[in-house]
Amino acid sequence: MAATTTVRTAARRILVVASETVDTQMLADVLRFRMRTERDVDLLVIAPALHLTRSLDQLREAGFDAEGLVADADPIRAIDDALTVFPADEIVLANDARGHSNQLARDLVHRARLRYAQPILHVVVASAPP
């Protein structure tokens, strides 16, 4: 992890793992649905440096109060690192719909579900435009 963040205590904590810059509107719709019954939610987005700023900017434009951390390129290692500073109640794995990424995500989702006690939600969304 390249940065630190201060996380306030919330009723629910959602960790979003974005290995690419994804279509944030689709992701935002999913997050709104997941958060519909909770008013007090902390949202932490972890992504490689190349994708983090854009993903955070887009989520904030969509109305989310999201924090972010630069993450390891290995998603499992990135989740492990993030969970040491952000005890998430749920993990959302956001991948774009390109075939190669989707193939990698299938194994990632399986490995994450075996490794973590938190519920894992896999969201396949369209690639963000450049």
Residue 4 is predicted with a pLDDT of 54
User: DSSP strand E in 41-98: where?
Assistant: 41-47, 66-70, 90-96
Residue 10 is predicted with a pLDDT of 56
Nearest to 11 by CA among 34, 27, 45, 30: 34
Residue 21 is predicted with a pLDDT of 65
pLDDT by position in tens, the chain (length 130): 555 555 555 578 999 998 776 667 788 888 888 888 877 888 999 998 888 988 898 889 888 889 999 999 888 999 999 999 999 999 999 887 765 455 465 688 999 999 999 999 988 876 655 5
CATH number of 12-125: 3.40.50.620
